[in-house]
Amino acid sequence: MYKLLSHNDLDGVGCGILAKLAFGDQVKVRYNSISSLNREVEWFLENDQKDTFLFITDLSVNEENEKRLEAFFKADGKVQLIDHHKTSIHFNDYGWAHVVVEDEEGKLTSATSLFYEYLVTHQFISPSDTLAEFVELVRQYDTWEWEKNNNHQAHRLNALFFLVSIEEFEEKMIDRLMSSAHFYFDDFEKRILDMEDAKIERYIRRKRREVVQTKLGAHFAGIVYAESYHSELGNELGKEFPHLDYIVILNMGGKRVGFRTIHDHIDLSEVAGHFGGGGHAKASGCSLTEEAYKKFVASTFLLEPLREDAKQNRYNLKRSSFGSLYKNRKDDIFFVYSINEHEWVIEKNRIKVEGDFGSFEEAEKFLKRNDEAWLAWDDTFVSFLMDGIKRDKKNIK
């Protein structure tokens, strides 16, 4: 017999689907949250038959279970942990663990892609185009590579995963992977996925107006409350507010904190690690502990949300050679313009701010971090210019 303990997200369930395809009714699969895995491992070690082969995928165990599994392995127990989280790398010291974040070609891995490779190498499954396509969709979703590759199929696979129950998803996928030459979505799925896309877009638009900004150590973070679509939200908010180093997503009901970034200069597995969590450089999470609560919830609750940049402007545009106008909540106005290609300056209420900036982005980042300013609407820009002309006339007289 085989037993698979896996994560309850798309990548984790991808492993379960592969296990069922490989071992049929010889495998028992159980999906876990990060916190429930350790109880399952303890249960397995205490109650399961000694010759059952245990797989753990897309998750890692705590220190006590790490020791227990090592003892189990040394006593000829069969166990294999397969993971791709940066915070699990040290498990590679054990004969029973295989943790790879990036393969030899520099491609980011996922648990499903590693497990597929394992099953093929050990001849538990015969490779096929359909399987390879499915595994690649899961990998691209989990590593967020789908976005730069514009692979919407991957994103849609995850949306479908959340629309139906895990059991239904497993059943559908197993059926499809066994019976067709290529991976596809059927017409009904395509229709509900279109509706889901529109719904996610509306959700994110609303959340964009709820982000508060706070300084945490040397970094600036945006904080938002959300129960769903964390990856999509983290990504869109990151792009909307690129001056923020990362986005903190609070799920109060689940008492969980998610961290997301679009930047390369920060490692969020470290940030989460500080609160007893873990994950990847660009996406990580931790429990909402008392310390995390104080930092992310209590101390930021009364802050006012950031305002979005004006989106429909025709005249007041970023990087414009006529300059760009910003505003803050205190009704200060900031005018950003360039003297030459590499020298940008900011005027606050028509008085030049100390220092200059190497690019428009640097100047804007400074403004947004220090003043929480936003790109003003065209009408404000026009009155600003008119007022400027009046002032000039007076000066000439």
The answer to whether residue 15 forms part of the interface with Mn ion (CB under 5 A) is no
Report the distance separating Cα 186 and Cα 164, nearest Å.
14
The answer to whether residue 257 forms part of the interface with Mn ion (CB under 5 A) is no
Binding residues for Mn ion, rule CB under 5 A, total 4
Report the distance separating Cα 395 and Cα 69, nearest Å.
81
CB 115 within 8 A of CB 142: no
Rounded to 5 degrees, what angle do the CA atoms 161, 163, 165 make? Answer: 70
Query: Quick one: which segment of 26-34, 104-112, 206-214, 367-375 binds Mn ion (CB under 5 A)?
Result: 104-112
Radius of gyration over every alpha carbon of the chain, rounded to an integer in angstroms: 26
Q: Which is nearer to Mn ion, 135 or 306 (CB)?
A: 135
Query: Quick one: which segment of 54-62, 151-159, 225-233, 314-322 binds Mn ion (CB under 5 A)?
Result: 54-62
The answer to whether residue 189 forms part of the interface with Mn ion (CB under 5 A) is no
Please state whether 176 falls in left (phi above 0), alpha (psi between -120 and 50) or beta.
alpha
Report the distance separating Cα 37 and Cα 172, nearest Å.
25
Binders in 273-332 for Mn ion, by CB under 5 A? none
Q: Which is nearer to Mn ion, 58 or 371 (CB)?
A: 58
Antiparallel, parallel or unpaired: β 219-225 and 246-251: parallel
**Minimum CB separation from Mn ion for residue 135, in Å?**
12
Of 40, 142, 232, 371, the one binding Mn ion by CB under 5 A: 142
The answer to whether residue 11 forms part of the interface with Mn ion (CB under 5 A) is yes
Of 111, 248, 257, 333, the one binding Mn ion by CB under 5 A: 111
Q: Which is nearer to Mn ion, 83 or 372 (CB)?
A: 83
Specify the amino acid at residue 270. E
Residues with Cβ within 8 Å of residue 56, at least 6 apart in sequence: 4, 5, 6, 37, 41, 79, 80, 81, 82, 83
CB 172 within 8 A of CB 184: no
**Minimum CB separation from Mn ion for residue 280, in Å?**
8
Query: Quick one: which segment of 21-29, 50-58, 128-136, 364-372 binds Mn ion (CB under 5 A)?
Result: 50-58
The answer to whether residue 58 forms part of the interface with Mn ion (CB under 5 A) is yes
**Minimum CB separation from Mn ion for residue 331, in Å?**
47
The answer to whether residue 125 forms part of the interface with Mn ion (CB under 5 A) is no
Binding site for Mn ion (CB under 5 A): 11, 58, 111, 142
